[in-house]
Structure 1
Amino acid sequence: MKIMLASVLMLLLTPALAQDVPQLDLPRTTLKAGMHLIQTQVASTPQQRAVGLMHRVDMPTNEGMLFVFEQPAVQCFWMKNTLLPLTAAFVQDDGTVVNLADMQPRSLDSHCSAKPVRYVLEMHQGWFAKRGIQKGFKLSGSPFASR
């Protein structure tokens, strides 16, 4: 009975414990923003999207995370347990940036897409601005090619 109870507790606690460390083993893809290459980790499952970039203390300059959802919807993000200041680009199926939101570390403030999207690309805060990328800019790469 004790072994069964311990097994059930481990199953229940595993997702919570997994959120205390950065996820580093996600699939990767390369996106293009004009002449700039972006190396992204792809978070496409509910668990991967829930953890996102939480607990990261650093990230390479041209790296980010692409959140992929099953269908377009208004997507909202917050920064609980996220240590890096980030900018979220809310992106349509064809790669067009709908809007951008600067997000502060460890904040519970909600940042939402201006209209339904399937993709959200998180990069270091200021990455998009330094490259002149704003609403209406079109990203390219394999996630957007088949739509």
Structure 2
Amino acid sequence: MCQRRPIWINFLALCLSLSCFFTQSHAEEEHSTGTILKAKNLFPNLITEFAAEHAYTPLQLSWGLMQQKELPENHGMTFNFPNAKKRNFWMFNCFIDLSLAYCDKNKIITEIHQLKAYPDKMDPNYPILTIEDWWQNPPSQELKDFFLDNGAPSGTPVHYALEMESGWFEKNKIKVGDRCLWSSYATEGYVSKVIALDPLIKKYALPISLVFPETLHYVFSLDYEYPVRVQLLDENDRIIKKTTIYPNIDYLTPLTIKTLIVSEIIEK
């Protein structure tokens, strides 16, 4: 004979079922993925990797790539200044043409310049191989003026800079507004493009999950009539921040992310 369960047990089971249902529904709302897009398929040139030496000390910042006769492919130097101000990179004592990107405090590229070398201007009888050579045989004011006049003065304050082989930024389709990422603890660095959300919003139904190949900081732009609400997820698909991206204001993620979810258009 089948024994009936007490009413209170049935009631408890019902409450637990409802609790699981609402918890699952809430989780699905928070983690709703909808359309899943792989960023590397939509933006094939999203990330460009490079190798670099890092200049931090006054001596390193002053010397830079002087006396460098060649650069390996995709190899350069980062300049990490203690503050942001207008600067003028010159090509004194340099022997190869270079490309230069000036960056703001967020390492977002603000200017790109081509730097021409003038090795014939250097006196072969007094080569400047070290900073001590500079002190012992300082260049004439006329020579200094020549290199300063043919340098690359910045139009805005510069906090960081990246020097690469000549034509590197153009070859890799890197433009003003793209973001550089590097650390003094690693020889590898990256340049990440600004990601326009407008085409995705117009083409796909919300919510849209944009999954990136690397867990990094990214920059997003929105040329749209309304702001959008987004969720930032880490490599474990955990929501680490919810925020709003507004039209015509580039948004740099404050944390490294693996996925961005566009969850809602704010039309009010």
Q: TM-score, normalised by structure 2?
A: 0.40
* Residue 24 (structure 1) aligns with: none
Alignment-mate amino acid for residue 105 of structure 1: A
Give CA deviations for 1:54-94 in whole Å, capped at 9, x if unaligned: 11111111110101110111121000111110011001121
User: Where do 5+ consecutive residues of structure 2 fail to align?
Assistant: 1-44, 119-145, 185-216, 218-253, 255-268
1:1-147 matched pairs, under 5 angstroms: 34-106=46-118, 108=147, 109-142=150-183
Amino acid at match of 2:68: R
Asked which structure has the greater RCO (Cα within 8 Å, sep 6+), the reply is 1
CA contact (8 A) 1:83 1:105 kept: yes
Secondary structure of 2:179's counterpart equals coil
Aligned-partner Cα distance in 1 for 2:112–2:156: 12
Matched residue type, 1:71: N
Secondary structure of 1:132's aligned partner: coil
Task: Mark the CA change 1:43 to 1:141 in structure 2 (over 3 Å): closer, same or farther.
Answer: closer
Q: Which runs of 5+ in 1 are unaligned?
A: 1-32
When normalised by structure 1's length, the TM-score is: 0.71
How far off its partner does 1:138 sit? 1.6
One-letter code aligned to 1:122: E
Distance of 1:141 and 1:120 partners within structure 2? 11
- Indicate if the aligned counterparts of 1:98 and 1:113 stay in contact, CA closer than 8 A: no
Percent sequence identity over aligned pairs: 29
1:131 to partner: Cα distance: 1.0
Q: Which residue of 2 aligns with 1:14?
A: none
- CA distance, structure 2, for counterparts of residue 125 and residue 104 of structure 1: 9
SS of residue in 2 equivalent to 1:123:
strand
Point out 4+ residue stretches in structure 1 off by more than 4 angstroms.
none
How many residues matched?
Answer: 115
Q: Deviations over 1:34-69 (max 9, x none)?
A: 422111111111111111101111111111010111
Structure of larger gyration radius: 2
Deviation at residue 114 of structure 1 after TM alignment: 2.0
Q: Deviations over 1:99-136 (max 9, x none)?
A: 01101013711202221121110001100001111111
Q: Classify the secondary structure of the residue corresponding to 1:139.
A: strand
User: For 2:50 and 2:154, how far apart are their aligned partners in 1?
Assistant: 21
Taking the aligned partners of 1:36 and 1:76, their CA distance within structure 2 comes to 26
